[in-house]
Amino acid sequence: MADFEATVVDVASDGRGVVKHPDGRTVFVGGVWPGEKGRFRITDNKGNVAIAQLCELLLASPHRVEAPCPHHGVSESSCGACPWQFVSYTAQLDAKQQRVQQAFARIGVKQVNDILPSSKHFHYRNRAQFKTDGQQLGFVGAKSNSLAAISQCMVLSDPNAATLQNLLQQLPNPTWKPTRKQLWTTLDIDDSLAIGEVSVNQRLPFRQANDEQNTAMKSWLAKKLEPLDKSARVLELFCGSGNLTQVIAEQGFEEILAVEAVEEALLQLDALNLPKVTSFKQNLFLDTAFEAIYRELNKPDILVLDPPRDGLKNKAKMFRKKNKFSHIFYIACDLMTLVRDVKQFQEEGYKVREVQALDQFPQTPHIELMVHMSAKNA
């Protein structure tokens, strides 16, 4: 298929640029930014859309910068973990802000706060997961299932960068050779562990990966909870090991039920001995989840939730005529599932009071979000 020239008109949720093919198809291209012009070549057709590569950049964006990481790129051998390193941080924030505003405008929410930037554009990640075949170590290649070997990683915190170098010195390592059922062995690191310590083929309990932005998230929630009636009963869903539970408990509420499916996380939460907090193990994606929860905590007044990317799938069972949350605080790591869920809350009579985006992962298209909703009479 012949090459074609086009202008990048948008950026997709996964960070790739969007261009229009002369035949009208939407085409996704890595490593380009809105306003740039280029010559492109189709590499894969997927129905009404296609994937292309940049053959020649004809007009560069004023926001384009030199990516500082030697492993950055869009080829299969390049690391795909930080696809926006070629763009200024200001432009990254603007693109994220625009995506949030557009998504919420579709459900009638026009007022969105300015995104909270990260003061650290690099060296912020307190944890990471590497892949290895025992010979090389790295991340998944850009838009591929290939292993992109690395010698450094610029977004890791200093302790984690030291651990990476320690792991690289252990190669080749036959004990890291994947089994026949594995593509590779996973190595999880965290800067709360000793340098060189690693969890092999076992994911560590969830932790927000940017400490500074996690503090900002907790401060936002504390500020919202502070003026509320402390006799209110609080239901926290997807509590994990207590990251937000600590904030809720510090506010002095009389009754807090913290719900999570992962037993190890609940054990860590229980070890905190937080006042007025009862932990409850429950798979929140089961149809019977809320029947069990409401037996434990009757008529909760305040809802706090921080679900995974899938969001809150079975929301319908949450709503009961005898129960109405006065306030809902939704922390989200996926914009589309958040907007989907907020729309259903709106249909149940809740109004959106505040939308606050937060940049937890600079150099990537990822957006963390915080939404405050309330009953209309609250």
- Show the 3-state SS of the chain: CCCEEEECCEECCCCCEEEECCCCCEEEECCCCCCCEEEEEEEEEECCEEEEEEEEEEECCCCECCCCCCCECCCCCCECCCCCCCECHHHHHHHHHHHHHHHHHCCCCCCCCCCECCCCCCCCECEEEEEECCCCEEEEECCCCCEEECCCCCCECHHHHHHHHHHHCCCCCHHHCCCCCCCCEEEEEECCCCCCCCEECCCCCCCCCEHHHHHHHHHHHHHHHCCCCCCCEEEEECCCCCCCHHHHHHCCCCEEEEEECCHHHHHHHHHCCCCCEEEEECCCCCCCHHHHHHHHCCCCCEEEECCCCCCCCCHHHHCECCECCCEEEEEECCHHHHHHHHHHHHHCCEEEEEEEEECCCCCCCCCEEEEEEEECCC
Q: List the structure tokens of 141.
A: 């290649």
Residues identified as active-site: 333
The Cα 335–Cα 267 span in angstroms is 30
Q: List the structure tokens of 29.
A: 């291209």
